[in-house]
Structure 1
Amino acid sequence: MNIDPFSLYCTPTFFINSDHEKIIAFSARHAGPSDNPVKKAVSIFYAVRDQIRYDPYKIPNHQEGFKASRVLAEGKGFCVSKAVLLAACLRAQSIPARLGFANVKNHLTTPKLREKMGTDLFEWHGYTDIFLEEKWVKATPTFNLSLCQNFGVLPLEFNGREDSVFHPFDAKGQQHMEYVQDHGYFADLPWDRLMTAYRSAYPRYFESGGISGDFNAEAKELHPNK
């Protein structure tokens, strides 16, 4: 019997719960009327990018907090949780999607976040890998448009045919994001590996239970002319 090798990337999982009624509704609403998978994926990407606010101050320390349906309900998340949500919405439209991870050096952050993390190296940064037109393309829905404007960062666009990853430079040509180490691709969130790496790399962050504050507002204060 022939088994579709991509069925794994269309199947609901614990974290990528694409069969949740709210995920199905959100996905259908933003996929648009087209039957073209590329157009659907692009439309859903922008919905997740801009309607779910980026917030690295509240990384969940429990599994439920990473579920796509929870991220959607809260309306905010960090890179990994937004990638999980995007994957779930795509799978709800029968578009194969998986999670990719890499260590990245972030040259643009807030003093508060840098102090708690103790470094500008972000381990296990997450993005979504999507199978469209017979190839995999990377999509990074992390930074919502308003945050990019506050930070002076070029917003990441996605056309469904080319990789959408962090620009190496911000809007002023200053270094922004550098990929350091690739961790590969996963059909579901490797929660244990992710949290082991986070707790080892950022003990001060998790000892304090996260960070209080508004990351978006602080970005605007750092760049008042944006």
Structure 2
Amino acid sequence: MSPVPSPTSVRLSDYLVSDAVVDHEHPSIRAQADRFRAAGDDPVARAEAAFRFVRDEVDHVIDAGDLRVTWRASDVLRERVGICHAKAHLLAALLRAQGIPAGFCYQELSALHGLNGVHLRGKWVRLDARGNRTGARGEFSLDEEKLAWPVDPARGERDHPEIHPAPAAVVVDFLMRAEPGPGWYEKGLPATL
């Protein structure tokens, strides 16, 4: 059974902030977010369009064999590539640019995996736009959690149901220091928060 997502802040406004990582005030983020408004006035339809864009149109570095490192949402959008954390930064920015509260969640798998918590229809849900190659199965759903990877407690894996307004500092620090090249994500990606 999936854990119940729980925000670490009671203020929805904390999940709409623009900063150096989730730079949703950037013109490219605003322009891309405006494209999702074509889905109509329903925030769920716009959120699903943003989710599918990040999941399907932005490559995961491992799946693509890409050597680049991205971490700022606008850079992930420009380069169209990122590790799970970078893709979560972009999805949060695209949603926040539309006034949809979005935060950050984590799973401890073989390394720390990043995904999003999103507030839609009066409740928090977790969404994982990692990308559906190499066995991942992340889907957009408000009714049933459909994350890219199931957690296996027997292997020592665990879910962190907390939804943070900002990305974890250990993740951002790692991404900012990472040097592009083969297997860069294997050189210090945090295993835990």
Structures share a fold, TM > 0.5? yes
Q: Tell me if structure 1 keeps the 8 A contact 2:71–2:172.
A: no
Give the whole-Å Cα distance in 2 for the aligned partners of 1:31 and 1:162: 25
Which residue of the other structure, out of 50, 61, 77, is the alignment partner of 2:56? 50
Q: TM-score, normalised by structure 2?
A: 0.74
Change (3 A) 1:34 1:11: same
Deviations 1:20-74 (A, max 9, x none): 11001111113434111111111110011111001136474xxxx3110011111
Q: CA deviation at 1:163?
A: 2.3
Q: Establish whether residue 189 from structure 1 lines up as the match of residue 167 from structure 2.
A: yes
Q: Tell me if structure 1 keeps the 8 A contact 2:22–2:89.
A: yes
Q: Tell me if structure 2 keeps the 8 A contact 1:90–1:96.
A: yes
Q: How many residues align?
A: 167
Q: CA deviation at 1:182?
A: 2.2
Q: Cα RMSD between the aligned structures?
A: 2.9
Give the whole-Å Cα distance in 1 for the aligned partners of 2:141 and 2:172: 32
Q: CA deviation at 1:154?
A: 5.8
Larger radius of gyration: 1
Q: Establish whether residue 87 from structure 1 lines up as the match of residue 92 from structure 2.
A: yes
Structure 2 unaligned spans of 5+: 1-9, 185-193
Q: What's the counterpart of residue 68 of structure 1? A: 73
Structure 1 unaligned spans of 5+: 105-120, 170-176, 199-205, 214-226
Q: Which amino acid aligns with 1:19?
A: E
Task: Indicate the percent of aligned positions where both proteins have the same amino acid.
Answer: 27
Q: CA deviation at 1:155?
A: 3.5
Q: What's the counterpart of residue 4 of structure 2? A: none
Deviations 1:187-224 (A, max 9, x none): 12223x226789xxxxxxx6x854169xxxxxxxxxxx
Q: CA deviation at 1:184?
A: 3.2
Q: Helix, strand or coil: the match of 1:72?
A: helix
Change (3 A) 1:164 1:27: farther
Q: CA deviation at 1:7?
A: 0.8
Q: CA deviation at 1:183?
A: 7.4
